[in-house]
Amino acid sequence: MCPRLGVASPPAKLKSFKNDLAPTLFYFDIFSTDLFRTPIMPLPMRIDRLSNGESIFILIPNLNALENTLDELDLSFNLTKFYIEGLKNLIIYGKRKYKEITYRELSFATLLKWFDSSINLESEIPSLRQDFYFLISEYLKFYISIENESIKIGSEEYILKNLDYCETNIKYFKEKIENNKIQIIERGQLKEVKLYREKKGKYYPDIIPIEVEHKKKNKVNKLTFVPYLIYDDLFDCFAYNKKLLDEENQAPIDTMIWNNKGIINKRSNIEKNNQDFSIKNFKLSKINLEHLL
């Protein structure tokens, strides 16, 4: 047998950090791809945590504010289906990237360990909850404007609406970065911390410690996260989408995809006795992993 000189073996495990909280939120993208047909996108794509069976902190938006917005817009929003599609996309991407890197299949047992640990984490990051609410509510406003104004999909007006949606998010996350502050909870008290620090003309993202409870283990640990990276990623995503729209390189999705998937709908189109519009009782623990695979 010929020796394989200078060829490194693929890693069996991706590098990750034990004390990383890895907050993850989801947003409605305006473009689909071959991999993400239903583009509810997780951010960031922490495949290291997923492939190692280590938890991420799955963020929940401000549900009271979201329910008020749904009432104002007269919309139904199935939050459980929204999370199922987003988590499914994360798993699909994670399995593909893991196989590309390691040449191995990601096991169901590893995914089960990752998911079980993730849905049992509990912490409070008020700013990120509000930002997550903003992301969803702005898309809902975009969606209902298309419906109410009977805008034709693919028309110039439709492209302009998509551009407005991107620009709204670009402005919001640009301001979040420039304001350089985020609210967390520390020892039961609201505390404001910086996203980054400046030194000799260079900017350094801050690593923020936060208390996190693992409900199943009945244990509280202090984990860390870097909020600046989340805001920077979101800014980049919407800036890139705007660039694609400006250059007419790709057509945005038809918003009816959300109606067809049962994720967003006008309440007037649904029999009220068959639909609970409230989302206040949403629980991650109600999601079955088998729905994601």
Q: Give bridge partners of residue 211 from the DSSP assignment.
A: 222
Instruction: Specify the 3-state DSSP secondary structure of 158.
Output: helix
Q: Which amino acid is at 218?
A: N
| 182-186 vs 189-193, strand pairing mode | antiparallel
Confidence at residue 6, expressed as pLDDT on a 0 to 100 scale: 47
Give phi and psi for 266, each to the nearest 5.
Answer: -75, 135
Would strands 57-58 and 23-28 be described as parallel, antiparallel, or unpaired?
Answer: parallel
Flag whether pLDDT at 100 surpasses 80: yes
Distances (CA, A) of 197 to 58, 92, 194, 201: 27, 36, 7, 10
Q: Output the CA angle 82-87-89, nearest 5 degrees.
A: 100
In DSSP terms, which residues pair with 122 in a beta bridge?
213
Q: What is the pLDDT confidence band of residue 276, given thresholds at 50, 70 and 90?
A: low
Following CA atoms 23, 287, 32, 158 in sequence, which dihedral angle do they give, to the nearest 10 degrees? -90
pLDDT in the model for residue 268 = 79
Higher pLDDT pick, 3 / 148: 148
Cα–Cα distance, 58 to 24 (Å, whole number)? 5
> Which secondary structure element, helix H or strand E, spans residue 140, and what is its range?
helix 126-148
Residue type, 273: N
pLDDT in tens, 6-38: 445 677 677 888 899 999 999 999 999 999 999
Residues in a beta bridge with 204:
197
- 100: CB partners within 8 A, 6+ apart: none
Sign of CA dihedral 167, 170, 173, 174: negative
For 173: left if phi > 0, alpha if psi spans -120 to 50, otherwise beta; the answer is: alpha
- Residue partners of 186: CB distance under 8 A and separation at least 6: 210, 211
pLDDT per position as a tens digit, 142-179: 999 999 999 999 999 999 999 999 999 999 999 999 99
Burial of residue 198 (number of CB atoms within 10 Å: 0-12, 13-18, 19+): exposed
Q: Which two tokens stand for residue 284?
A: 């991650």
Q: What average pLDDT score do residues 43-59 get?
A: 93
Query: Structure pTM?
Result: 0.92
Nearest to 123 by CA among 36, 193, 220, 17: 220
Buried b vs exposed e over 61-88: b needs ≥16 C-beta within 10 Å?
bbbeebbebbeebebbbbbebbbbbbbb
